[in-house]
Amino acid sequence: MSSDTCSPSSNFSGTGRAAAIELKRIGKVYRVYNRQIDRIRDALFPASRVQYRKYHALADVSLQVEQGQTVGIIGRNGSGKSTLLQVICGILQPSSGQLEVRGRISALLELGAGFNPEFTGRENVYFNGAILGLSREEIDACFTDIESFAGIGEFIDRPVKTYSSGMYVRLAFAVAINVRPDILIVDEALSVGDTLFQARCFAKFREFQEQGVTILFVTHSMDLITKYCSRAFLLEKGHLLHAGPAKDVVDAYNRMLVEQSATEDARKAEERPQPEREEEQMDPAAALMAHQKKSEQEFRFNPDENRYGNGKAEIIRVGIYDEEGNPRQTLHHGRVYDIVMEVVAREDLVNPILAYTIKDAKGFDLSGTNTFFHDIDTGRMRAGEVLRTVFRQRILLVAGSYLISFGCAAFEAGEYVVYDRRYDLMTLDVVSSRQSVGLFDPDVEIALSRPGVSR
């Protein structure tokens, strides 16, 4: 087979602005049956009247993606983004509406879907190619490209089960883009790769854009959307809320998040039980339990927290509160919050250090401090004593999701000893009414002036 099987197919190059993907009033309704057998009866004998409830995953979605455009799909979890992609790919059948897709789709919906962990990377490449409808010869022609793009070296001939997740995504991505699709669909997968690889992928995106390949991708990174997409779609509860230039849609999304978090917080504040007054009268152990419980009611904690330490002290309660003292897990950029932690000493302690750290979702430490850095002497603690520390600060992080960790440690005879560390204990979301580049937004004030006219 000649090498041009690997060049982009030119089915419709030159026809100008033909729509590569066209959805007309697409709806996806899941039928929830009482019994499994009803589902079969309904499928095989459509005339039989079977009872079911309806769940709308997509409702009345109409959209068009022009050939050669790069389009982002955004929305919160469960808004129907993935369903939409699956419908466009043809994996899910829409319940209503019309769908037209022109050109070969290469989809990366899940990291290494279709990879068999027992087989080598090479075998999996051929298998994946075959699923995409390529013949052995066609894959032969692309193989060197795939191999060099993935850049996993000799691992190509080792079983995929020995791969790191980074290698996994590299190989999967290398296959998806080197088979030269007309339409490339990517769902979140990119976020796994390292920065260098991501950069290489986006370079490839640029190349694709020049070649007229249509790209559709779902991401939570608004940064990527504004950077690479010309247009975007915003989905919410299965409805298409916004369609338009990427920047406008991202703005709309951020506005939506802020509004929603405001109403959500208001609702939470109402539901919050009145503070218990009797706490002081209870015996200390019961009081501690009640204490911990209260903290658990106010916040959503990470069940997979990473906790360790020798237990000489225990972090019994943590929380984030706004200036009015309301518990918050969704923080507004620029406002002041108290990060609170309470530690109980199990033995007599001298000068314990209390600390917290905020990381981004990738595990990168963004900010954090402790009583030691601030030269605060916490003094002696007797066994059973509780110490409450409040870290007050203005949140300057950009909008996104973060993880917060807490720790209690001390220097004992010159050695650093960890009493209790609770890493990634809570998630917190920061919302902002404006976009910003990078990791933190230091409330820049922009001043304009027009000092005369220069000739």
Binding site for other proteins (CB under 8 A): 30, 36-37, 39-40, 43-44, 86, 89-93, 105, 107, 109-110, 113-114, 116, 118-119, 123, 126-127, 130-132, 135-136
Minimum Å distance from CB 362 to other proteins?
24
Closest to other proteins by CB, 127 vs 301, is: 127
Is the backbone of residue 275 left (phi > 0), alpha (psi -120 to 50) or beta? Answer: beta
CB 64, CB 20: distance < 8 Å: no
Least distance to other proteins, CB of residue 307, Å:
33
**Which CB sits closer to other proteins, 119 or 301?**
119
Nearest residue (CB) to other proteins, 36 versus 449: 36
| Of 285, 321, 292, 290, the residue nearest 422 (C-alpha) | 292
Cβ at position 113, least distance to other proteins in Å: 3
Neighbours of 268 (CB within 10 A): 15
- Between residues 30 and 440, which has the closer beta carbon with respect to other proteins? 30
CB of 4: closest distance to other proteins in angstroms? Answer: 20
**Rounded least distance, CB 132 to other proteins, Å:** 8
Least Å distance between CB 365 and other proteins? 34
- Residues whose CB falls within 8 Å of the CB of residue 83, separated by 6 or more in sequence, listed in order: 28, 57, 58, 92, 238
Q: Which long-range contacts (CB under 8 A, 24 or more apart) does 254-262 make?
A: 254/222, 254/399, 254/431, 254/432, 254/433, 254/434, 254/435, 255/433, 257/76, 257/399, 257/431, 258/332, 258/431, 258/432, 258/433, 261/330, 261/332, 261/429, 261/431
Q: How far apart are CA 184 and CA 244, in angstroms?
A: 20
Nearest distance in Å: CB 115, other proteins: 9
159/124 Cα distance (integer angstroms) = 9
Measured from the CB atom, the residue of 33 and 440 that comes closer to other proteins is 33
Nearer to other proteins, 23 or 183 (CB): 183
Say how far apart CA 248 and CA 254 lie, in whole Å: 10
Residue carrying the six token digits 């982002």: 72
In terms of CB distance, is 161 or 394 closer to other proteins? 161
Report the Cα 303 to chain-centroid distance in Å: 18
Nearer CB in complex with other proteins: 104/200:
104
Least separation in angstroms between residue 440's CB and other proteins is: 36
Nearer to other proteins, 37 or 262 (CB): 37
CB of 350 vs other proteins, minimal distance in Å:
55
Tokens 């010309």 -> residue = 230
Q: 186 vs 72, 176, 202, 244, CA distance in Å?
A: 10, 9, 12, 20
Q: Which is nearer to other proteins, 174 or 430 (CB)?
A: 174
C-beta closer to other proteins: residue 120 or 351: 120
Strands 380-381, 349-350: pairing kind:
antiparallel
Closest Cα to residue 237, out of 84, 92, 91, 87? 84
Min separation Cβ 273 and other proteins, Å: 41
Torsion sign over Cα 299, 305, 309, 311? positive
* Tokens found for residue 35: 């019994």
DSSP for 280-321 reads: GGS-HHHHHHHHHHHHHHHS-B-TT-EEE--SSEEEEEEEEE
What does the alpha-carbon distance between residue 189 and residue 314 come to, in Å, rounded to a whole number? 38
Cβ at position 120, least distance to other proteins in Å: 11
Nearest CA among 112, 149, 118, 145 for reference residue 131: 112
